[in-house]
Amino acid sequence: MGELYGEVNLLTMEWKDGLLGIFVRLAVQCTEEEHQWVVCDGPVDAVWIENMNTVLDDNKMLCLANSERIKLTPWVHMVFEVQDLAQASPATVSRCGMVFVDPEDLKWLPYVQSWLQNIEQRTPIQSEY
């Protein structure tokens, strides 16, 4: 949990931000009205996801263990890419929009097409003239 949200170093008694604290703080500091996306990719664990409830509800606030509260702007969005919701509570699930993509419906061709399109955009066109 410390790596994700932050923790106090017991030797120095100093607070060290975790990944979510760092990335959410960077996202809310953006002064332009551009959408900022914080993407969490991995299994949902009831212990860490419950701490996200204040981010996902109307408060839109990340509460850290050092009592810091980071208010999300309307331009900051959270995305959770998960395999399943077996460990997520109904309270957490009810705060999120869901998109289900069946792996059987998404074969290999869209990945290859996306990759080829990306290569075309990055490769300068050379002319022989």
Q: Is residue 55 part of a domain?
A: yes
User: Token pair of 25, please?
Assistant: 């703080």
Q: Is residue 106 part of a domain?
A: no
Per-residue pLDDT 10s for the chain (129 aa) are 888 889 998 999 999 999 999 999 999 998 888 899 999 988 888 888 888 889 998 989 999 989 999 999 999 999 988 888 888 888 888 888 888 888 777 788 888 888 898 887 777 666 565
Residue 29, helix vs strand vs coil = coil
Q: Is residue 117 part of a domain?
A: no
What is the spatial distance between Cα 48 and Cα 65, in angstroms, rounded to a whole number? 12
Q: Is residue 105 part of a domain?
A: no
For residues 79 and 40, the answer to whether their CB atoms sit within 8 Å is: yes
Q: Is residue 128 part of a domain?
A: no
For residues 1 and 48, the answer to whether their CB atoms sit within 8 Å is: yes
Q: Is residue 37 part of a domain?
A: yes
What is the domain extent for residue 54?
Answer: 2-100
> What is the CB neighbour count within 10 angstroms for residue 73?
14
Q: What is the CATH number of the domain that holds 18?
A: 3.40.50.300
Number of domains in the chain: 1
- Residue type at 44 in one-letter notation: V
